Amino acid sequence: MARRAAACDLSKSKLLRQARNKAYYERKKHMKQIQRSLKAARARSSGGKGDSEGTQAQYPITPPRALCALESAHLTVLNSRLQAWGYREEPRDHLDTLKAEIKKARRRSGGVDAWIKDTLDWLEEGNGIVLAMEQMMGREGVQGLHPTQVKKMWQTISSTAFNAQFMIAMTTVKLDEVEGYL
């Protein structure tokens, strides 16, 4: 009877691991698609020069050492999404980039429509990232941390979420301005 229970537990853990790995690779595949589309949009809007304005944050959210491997993996994916999205530690750098993108889009025929479409996709991805940051704090692995570690993690996630929401708000205002001129 004990063997049967152990075999059942083993197969259950194997299925859970397979499901977790499948979800991880699907997210990774989705992130690559998003990164490609964002790079293409950025190259189109900047005339192929790349992103020279401002500095992108390397790892906006740093995981505490005591965080379990699964939760650390979630944070790694979240950081990757933030980088691919174009997160900046200083949101005002984003405003300068936005202004330059709008000027370039206005110079090209059909550029404004393409910029609006790309910007709407960018806003949707940003909202998904902010939601993922909110959900991160409610995860079991985070709640099991020492209170000082939870506090530090809350500080980094909340400041990153604030900056991301500020970038989203600035972009929404600029999008409304551009659409108002059409």
- 111/103 Cα distance (integer angstroms): 10
The amino acid occupying position 101 is E
- 74/142 Cα distance (integer angstroms): 11
Give the orientation angle of helix 147-181 with respect to helix 111-137, to 10 degrees.
160
- 106/125 Cα distance (integer angstroms): 24
What local confidence, expressed as pLDDT, does residue 48 receive?
47
- 112/46 Cα distance (integer angstroms): 13
DSSP annotation of 175: H
CA dihedral 66, 138, 92, 182 (to 10 degrees): 150
pLDDT tens string, the chain, 182 residues long: the values are 556 556 666 677 777 788 788 777 777 776 666 666 666 665 655 554 444 444 455 566 666 665 666 677 778 888 889 989 988 888 788 999 999 999 999 998 888 999 999 999 999 999 999 999 888 877 766 777 778 888 888 888 889 999 999 999 999 999 999 888 65
User: Structure pTM?
Assistant: 0.62
H-run or E-run covering 150: helix 147-181
CB 129 within 8 A of CB 35: no
Q: Which two tokens stand for residue 34?
A: 């998003």
CB 93 within 8 A of CB 55: yes
The widest CA-to-CA distance across the chain, in whole angstroms, is 75
CB 133 within 8 A of CB 78: yes
